[in-house]
Structure 1
Amino acid sequence: MAPKVNCNPIKLSNIVTYLQKSRTAHSIKELEKHLPSIASINSMQVKDYIQSLTDENRINVEKIGSGNWYWSFASQDLRLRERALAEAKVGRERASVTVEELKAKLLQVRTLREDEEAVLDLPGERREDLLAKQVELGEGIESLRREIEAFRDNDPTEVERKVKDTREARERAEMLTDEIYSMEAWFMKQGLDAESMRNFGQAFYGDEFDSEEGMLREL
């Protein structure tokens, strides 16, 4: 359980020192009696300070009988300090590794930047060579694209699609032609003579109309 008040670190250390020097276990009632004068806190804060020290493993607590008893030994405090020191060393080593990795990455970035600047600083002829190479590569890519497009014309799937489209277009044209002939027949029945129909066809259909045959040209 976290303490209800913010505990002063110096007062916490004074309590630990008192418990270590006493070399004995204390009940909560004894601590509430002595700690206010030892740590300059009021009796209502004693439990909060004791709880804080317990949470930090700076003092020991054991339930004996009906109540808890608290104590601390100097050797225990030393072990805690040694553990904290070991953790600090591990953290420092990890930080050192991270720093070295960052330095290596920074060096890599600087090297790449220097290489880019070196290319930009090349003599005019060298830059022209690079640009010419770039143009050459671009033309090569375009040539490959044209070859791929040419091969596509021989693709069986593509050929089949074109045949299908052509067949459908012819069927639509034949259907429309039949409708046109039906309309012409209707006009003839209405009294329109052949010469007038020929002139009408030439004006309406243009090059698609065969004036000699008097009908649309064959597809």
Structure 2
Amino acid sequence: MSKKKGLSFEEKRARMMEIFFETKDVFQLKDIEKIAPKEKGITSMSVKEILQSLVDDGMVDTDRIGTSNYFWAFPSKALHARKRKLGELESQFAESNQKKEALQKSIEKSKIGREDTVERAALIEELAALRQKKEQLKAEIDKYRECDPDVIEEMLQERKCKLLFSCSENANCA
């Protein structure tokens, strides 16, 4: 005994598109709801949802005439859409290849003068040592920052401002 497995959403979409492509006709929703379960095995409960997803993706066209909605999709439209998408992808591919080539040329150009030599290695080591010494000196300066006359003067000015501000708020300061 094997269980009958239901169709996936993508399979239902593909089968719905087959209905349009095979008949090359225009349908109302009620017509599709009758045809889809019989011919393609799509449950009538999911026909509206699938049809709406196809309309949202631009695979099926729709138009309202009077009080009725009509749906259609022709194979030529799908072919033109695929060709247009292929053209876009090919142009993006060509553009990406041009960027890649330009970047490779830039890399090759920037490598000139950066060959690994003994002198260059020594300069890189010296640069690293100087950067480390700079960080040590910065840390030492920060340690003695409290004794800096400019910093002390700035702190005194801030205190004077705070005292003046607090005295102006209190009428008792005089």
TM-score band w.r.t. shorter chain: 0.5 to 0.7
Distance in 1 between the 2:106 and 2:71 partners?
53
Query: Could you say which residue in structure 2 is the equivalent of 1:22?
Result: 23
Distance in 1 between the 2:109 and 2:41 partners?
58
Deviations 1:172-212 (A, max 9, x none): xxxxxxxxxxxxxxxxxxxxxxxxxxxxxxxxxxxxxxxxx
RMSD: 2.5
Query: Could you say which residue in structure 1 is the equivalent of 2:69?
Result: 68
Runs of 5+ consecutive residues of structure 1 not aligned to the other structure: 1-6, 122-219
Q: Percent identity?
A: 27
Deviations 1:154-186 (A, max 9, x none): xxxxxxxxxxxxxxxxxxxxxxxxxxxxxxxxx
Query: Could you say which residue in structure 2 is the equivalent of 1:120?
Result: 119
TM-score, with structure 1 as normaliser: 0.46
Query: Could you say which residue in structure 1 is the equivalent of 2:37?
Result: 36
Query: Could you say which residue in structure 2 is the equivalent of 1:59?
Result: 60
Instruction: Identify which of structures 1 and 2 has the higher relative contact order when contacts are C-alpha pairs closer than 8 Å and 6+ apart.
Output: 2
CA 1:95–1:13 in structure 2 vs 1: closer, same or farther (change >3 Å)?
A: same
| Contact 1:14–1:38 (CA under 8 A) maintained in structure 2 | no
Which structure's residues are more often helix, by fraction? 1
Q: Which amino acid aligns with 1:43?
A: S
Q: Within 5 Å, give how 1:20-169 maps onto structure 2.
A: 20-114=21-115, 117-118=116-117, 120=119
Distance in 1 between the 2:87 and 2:41 partners?
33
Q: Which amino acid aligns with 1:30?
A: D
Cα drift, residue 44 of structure 1: 2.1
Q: Which amino acid aligns with 1:88?
A: L
Distance in 2 between the 1:71 and 1:58 partners?
9
Cα drift, residue 118 of structure 1: 4.1
**Max Rg structure:** 1
Cα drift, residue 26 of structure 1: 0.7
Distance in 2 between the 1:112 and 1:38 partners?
72
Q: Which amino acid aligns with 2:106?
A: K
Deviations 1:115-154 (A, max 9, x none): xx34727xxxxxxxxxxxxxxxxxxxxxxxxxxxxxxxxx
Deviations 1:72-93 (A, max 9, x none): 1121111111111111111111
Give secondary structure in 2 for the equivalent of 1:44. Answer: coil
Distance in 1 between the 2:95 and 2:31 partners?
45
TM-score, with structure 2 as normaliser: 0.57
Give secondary structure in 2 for the equivalent of 1:62. Answer: strand
Distance in 1 between the 2:109 and 2:25 partners?
62
Cα drift, residue 48 of structure 1: 1.5
Distance in 2 between the 1:41 and 1:113 partners?
66
Distance in 2 between the 1:36 and 1:95 partners?
46
Give secondary structure in 2 for the equivalent of 1:68. Answer: strand
Give secondary structure in 2 for the equivalent of 1:43. Answer: coil
